[in-house]
Amino acid sequence: MDSNVRPESMQRITNPQLAQAFIEEQVAAIRAQVGDGKVLLALSGGVDSSVVAALLIKAIGKQLVCVHVNHGLMRKGESEDVIKVFGEALDANLIYIDATDRYLDLLAGVAEPERKRKIIGEEFIKIFDEEARKLSGISFLAQGTIYPDIIESKGVKAHHNVGGLPEEMAMELVEPVKLLYKDEVRVVGEALGLPHHMVYRQPFPGPGLGVRCLGAITRDRLNALREADAILREEFAKSGLAEHVWQFFVAVPDFKSVGVRDGKRYEGWPAIIRAVNTVDAMTATIEEIPYPILHKITNRITSEVEGINRVCLDLTPKPIGTIEWE
């Protein structure tokens, strides 16, 4: 039987009891596959890689080496959260790489979206390769592949790390959640004791804020975007919207408009709010945000974030607009 095909008899994991049974089964399978070998995992802090990391830590402990690369395009507090949860609470064998300057120097002056994506992806592979070469005895590579990835691509998606790793880094794959859907991965994550906010982290593109800081990225505009996005997430969480909206974020374009602050002309960027709901990401509808919440978000962003002087709301469904701007 094809190991990449989910058996029709496989029960959906919908509760802690089923999740625990799955965890016990996978812990045994991982130990049988890996033995006393070492496993390397690129830990982004996303749902899938975080659950795989927690599962492998439970199964083989320090035999797992997690590499977290901070490309400087993470949302506010996310890399710190990875360090806190995995480096401290779970005592993982965690390598943290702050590559912010390296990435932002490479991205300086690059405005074309696909070129930005390519630079971000290629540089990650280089950094991951550099770190892997420093390690000895690594014979396995863990990935957060889930079942929709296999269905959509008939194999591992091109954007998954293994798809672009150098041939000389070829390792045996460890993919313990590859037959699970996203909702099942979340149930397993909570059963493993991961924080709720990490398990229910909303989808976040691999290039991170790099595709939401529209056009050529500058450090000041990237910082404004990160702060405005943090305010949006905080207010959505307070109001309960975070539990009902599939994806919400701020995009900041590369142009300014005139405003007024402290009685003086003030040129600043607009912060564009996008909040959508979807089932499969092929189509998306717009979430209706109550005006009192919008007013509060607008007031906070324009008063607290240096460089932002307007807040706009994107009301475009998909189609015709894509979920991300770039």
Give me the sign of the Cα torsion angle 188, 190, 193, 196: positive
212-313 — its CATH code? 3.30.300.10
- Cα separation of 89 and 18, whole Å? 25
Per-residue pLDDT of the chain (326 residues; tens, 9 = 90+): 578 888 888 999 999 999 999 999 999 999 999 999 999 999 999 999 999 999 999 999 999 999 999 999 999 999 999 999 999 999 999 999 999 999 999 999 999 999 999 999 999 999 998 998 899 889 999 999 998 888 866 543 344 433 445 555 568 999 999 999 999 999 999 999 999 999 998 888 889 999 999 999 999 999 999 999 999 999 999 999 998 999 999 999 999 999 988 888 999 999 999 999 988 778 999 999 999 999 999 999 999 999 999 999 999 999 999 999 99
Q: Is 275 helix (H, G, I), strand (E, B) or coil?
A: strand
pLDDT per position as a tens digit, 38-55:
999 999 999 999 999 999
pLDDT digits (tens, 9 = 90+) for 107-142: 999 999 999 999 999 999 999 989 988 998 899 999
User: Nearest Cα to 161, choosing from 125, 203, 207, 115?
Assistant: 125
| Identity of the residue numbered 125 | I
Where do the structural domains in the chain lie, given as residue ranges? Answer: 16-199, 212-313
| 255 vs 221: CA distance, rounded Å | 10
What is the helix (H) or strand (E) element at residue 247, kind and residue range?
strand 247-251
Spatial contact of 13 and 180, defined as CB atoms under 8 Å apart: yes
Cβ(41)–Cβ(56) below 8 Å: yes
- Give the pLDDT of residue 220: 97
Q: How far apart are CA 270 and CA 251, in angstroms?
A: 9
Cβ neighbours for 73, distance < 8 A, ≥ 6 positions apart = 103, 120, 207, 208, 209, 210, 213, 222
Do the domains at 16-199 and 212-313 have one common CATH topology? no
Q: Which CATH number applies to 16-199? A: 3.40.50.620
Cα–Cα distances in angstroms (integers) from residue 193 to residues 89, 92, 130, 218, 242, in the given order: 10, 14, 32, 38, 21
